[in-house]
Amino acid sequence: MAEEAKESGSRWVLVIDGLIIMLCLGAIYAYSIISVPLKAYYTSTGLTPTAVDMQIPFIVFLAFFALTMPLIGKYIEQYGPRKVGMVGGVLVGLGWFLASFASTPMMLAVLYGGIGGIGVGVAYNCPITVSGRWFPDKRGLAVGLTVLGFGFSAALIGPIADSLTSSYGILTAMKIFGVAFLIIIVALSTLLRFPPAGWKPAEWAPPAPKAGATAACDFYRKDMLKTTSCWGLWLCYIIGATAGLMAIGIAKPAGLEVAGKLGMDPVTSSALMTSLVIPFAVANGFGRPIFGSLVDKMGARNTAFFSFVLIFIASVMMAGYLGVPSIAMYTIAFILLWACLGGWLAIAPSCTGAYFGMKDYACNYGFIFTAYGLGAIIGNILASSIKDITGSYAGAFPIVAVLAIVGIIIAFVMLKPPAAPS
């Protein structure tokens, strides 16, 4: 009993450890801030990068992140989260450091997007899987708190990036981040571990299924892929990620556009938009434990409905700046969109564990997470292409509003607990 109590207490330390690792991994969410001085640097060298050019490194980073995760799940089980997390930390640090040598957006996409994205893909699922294993009783809350760091990261990294860039230039800032991330992630990954076989919290037993519900069971990936629930979750996740990652990728440029239409001077508007990333990131970070707790209380489908309603409202608000630009509307809408992306980064892993079990969780969620990469590609190509064609980001938001309605329909029809595999 004493040993069980000790293990139950130390498991919260692992959540904090994972949260800090996620703060480093989530620095990609500050890309809209660092992209502004990067674009200025490339322009100073004689290049003329377009909106699409500057979004490609962000898209490549998130795409490699999402594509790597399905391949890493089995290695987390085989070698343990400590070793895999350390490898990921080395790659993340190298990606940021080597990015400082990129002389074009395309080279940035390879060094920062490719190496850094793979590193995050290797490390990301390690703390999530650890939290899920240690908290079968509060999985949504524990996973939500762990990934909170990923969402909150931009609130910390954004102002630091601005400060370092002002003092040393954007290229040196990238080097500093690279060294710091490598050291922190590798050091904290040494603490990651799974609970002993058969361990469970003291005085806790798996809840009995509700009347008419299917008993929880474990699915291997090949069984999961045969279910309608899997594809419903995957499609809903794509829509949630499309809306949220588009908002994250264009946060500062879109804000500068709104401020420009209102006649604000460039220096004031730039400082304002950097400062607004802090509440956006707070919303994204705390959206994870909040939505994770909602999944525990009201189920994945109802929580998905709620997120899509918020995405629809935010998109309609932003579509309004086609005629009447407003800093207040921009701020509220982007808070909602960032929060809902954070929500989906809790809804999807929690739902994966609840619907398909924990036995093959790393592999199962690895597949589900490919939706995140597709959302990054769809959302950011959509927004940057519309910007290059029309001169404004506003036209992307009516499309996102329609996607939110589609998400509600998919969740209603397909997002439900699956029957046990045969």
Q: Which two tokens stand for residue 346?
A: 């809790």
- Determine the Cα–Cα distance for residues 243 and 27; give it in Å rounded to an integer: 19
The answer to whether 254 and 330 have CB atoms below 8 angstroms apart is yes
Return the pLDDT at 208.
Answer: 62
pTM of the predicted model as reported, rounded to 2 decimal places: 0.80
Q: Which of 118, 132, 130, 131 is nearest to 87 (CA)?
A: 118
- Determine the Cα–Cα distance for residues 93 and 102; give it in Å rounded to an integer: 15
- Determine the Cα–Cα distance for residues 232 and 259; give it in Å rounded to an integer: 39
- Determine the Cα–Cα distance for residues 168 and 335; give it in Å rounded to an integer: 31
Most distant CA atoms of the chain, gap in Å? 68
| Other Cβ atoms closer than 10 A to 195 | 18
Q: Which two tokens stand for residue 369?
A: 């997470």
Return the pLDDT at 4.
Answer: 47
Cα four-point dihedral sign 279, 233, 84, 8: positive
User: How far does CA 218 lie from the centroid of its chain?
Assistant: 26
DSSP 8-state assignment for residue 358: S
3-state secondary structure 129-189: HHHHHHCCCCHHHHHHHHHHHHHHHHHHHHHHHHHHHHHHCHHHHHHHHHHHHHHHHHHHH
Return the pLDDT at 321.
Answer: 59
CA angle 394, 395, 396 (to 5 degrees): 95
Return the pLDDT at 332.
Answer: 93
- Residue found under tokens 């409202």: 313
The answer to whether 120 and 88 have CB atoms below 8 angstroms apart is yes
**Residue segments in the chain with a per-residue pLDDT below the cut of 50:** 1-6, 212-215
Q: Which two tokens stand for residue 119?
A: 């590193």
The answer to whether 148 and 349 have CB atoms below 8 angstroms apart is no
Q: Which of 157, 168, 41 is nearest to 107 (CA)?
A: 41
- Residue found under tokens 């850094």: 116
Q: Which of 160, 48, 173, 165 is nearest to 100 (CA)?
A: 173
Number of residues that make up the chain: 422
Q: Which two tokens stand for residue 340?
A: 């809902």
- E strands along 46-88, which residues? none
- Determine the Cα–Cα distance for residues 342 and 352; give it in Å rounded to an integer: 16
Q: Which of 256, 272, 116, 109 is nearest to 185 (CA)?
A: 116
Return the pLDDT at 213.
Answer: 47
The residue type of 22 is M
Q: Which residues contact 140 (CB under 8 A, 6 or more apart)?
A: 292, 293, 294, 295, 296, 346, 350
Q: Which of 234, 127, 138 is nearest to 189 (CA)?
A: 127
How far are the Cα atoms of 193, 267, 282, 289, 306 from residue 273, in angstroms, in the given order?
Answer: 40, 10, 15, 26, 28
**Domains of the chain with CATH codes:** 2-197+216-414 (1.20.1250.20)
